């Protein structure tokens, strides 16, 4: 039976949503196509009519997850205002809740190391979306008085993602909590000491 365009669109959305969550929880290599189809409540045939391969699913799942992060940041800006958006973003990112729910959290922290071993197509998609996320965050945090530039954003994001990955990796809960707490405090001090600038290193780009 032929599937309507609306149903096909809904099926695609369910596949991407399920894959995005499972990849972040179990890893790309640890998630089989059968798990994705089961989570989406679809048959293998329905899934492969939308995506020809697991790699194609991974590409779309990465894009969806990173777009989700941008929406979270935007909500923080709308809720807290530009002056306090950075504090809200950092506190939310480096929270125990975010640490304990990787399936709905930051894809970079959940899959960063594994993506380095993925096919070029997946890595290219991740790289493009990551650059877009950094640009989006820079524009989100900039105001008329202080330009939150790309180097600042890159250093901030790398610090947060690294801390979150470490907090999930260690088996000592107290140490895990400490990683999140001290990193949040360190970023706050760095921002206040540097007039909202996270880095003071020269730009790596040529003048």
What pLDDT does 148 receive? 64
What pLDDT does 158 receive? 95
**Which DSSP helix (H) or strand (E) runs through 207?**
none
What pLDDT does 147 receive? 58
DSSP label of 41: T
pTM of the model: 0.84
What are the residue ranges spanned by the domains of the chain?
62-193
What pLDDT does 201 receive? 42
What pLDDT does 181 receive? 98
What pLDDT does 78 receive? 86
Look at residues 147, 131, 127, 137 and name the one whose alpha carbon lies nearest to residue 73: 137
3-state helix, strand, coil in the chain (%, to 5): 75, 0, 25
Residue 107 tokens, joined: 């894809």
What pLDDT does 200 receive? 43
What pLDDT does 15 receive? 94
Sequence-distant (6+) residues with CB within 8 A of 53 are none
Provide the 3-class DSSP secondary structure of residue 134. Answer: helix
What pLDDT does 44 receive? 82
What pLDDT does 136 receive? 86
Buried-state track 79-111, b at ≥16 Cβ within 10 A, e below 16? eeeeeebbebbbeebbeeebbeebeebbbbbbb
CATH 3.40.30.10 assigned to domain 62-193? The reply is no
Full pLDDT tens readout for the chain, 207 residues:
566 788 888 989 999 999 999 999 999 999 999 999 999 998 888 888 888 899 999 999 999 999 988 888 888 888 888 778 888 899 999 999 999 999 999 999 999 889 999 999 999 999 999 999 898 888 877 765 555 677 888 999 999 999 999 999 999 999 999 999 999 999 988 877 755 444 444 444 433
């Amino acid at each position: 039976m032929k599937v309507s365009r609306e149903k096909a669109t809904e099926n695609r959305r369910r596949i991407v949503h399920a894959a995005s969550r499972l990849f972040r929880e179990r890893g790309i290599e640890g998630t089989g196509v059968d798990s994705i189809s089961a989570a989406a409540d679809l048959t293998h045939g329905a899934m492969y009519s939308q995506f020809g391969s697991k790699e194609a699913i991974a590409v779309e799942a990465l894009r969806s997850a990173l777009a989700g992060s941008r929406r979270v940041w935007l909500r923080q800006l709308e809720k807290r205002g530009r002056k306090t958006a950075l504090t809200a973003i950092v506190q939310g990112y480096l929270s125990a809740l975010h640490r304990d729910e990787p399936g709905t959290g930051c894809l970079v922290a959940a899959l960063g190391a594994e993506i380095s071993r993925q096919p070029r197509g997946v890595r290219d998609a991740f790289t493009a979306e990551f650059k877009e996320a950094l640009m989006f965050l820079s524009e989100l945090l900039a105001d008329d008085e202080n330009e939150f530039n790309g180097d600042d954003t890159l250093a901030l994001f790398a610090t947060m993602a690294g801390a979150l990955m470490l907090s999930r990796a260690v088996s000592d809960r107290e140490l895990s909590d400490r990683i999140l707490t001290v990193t949040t405090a360190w970023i706050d001090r760095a921002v206040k000491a540097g007039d909202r600038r996270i880095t003071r290193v020269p730009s790596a780009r040529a003048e």
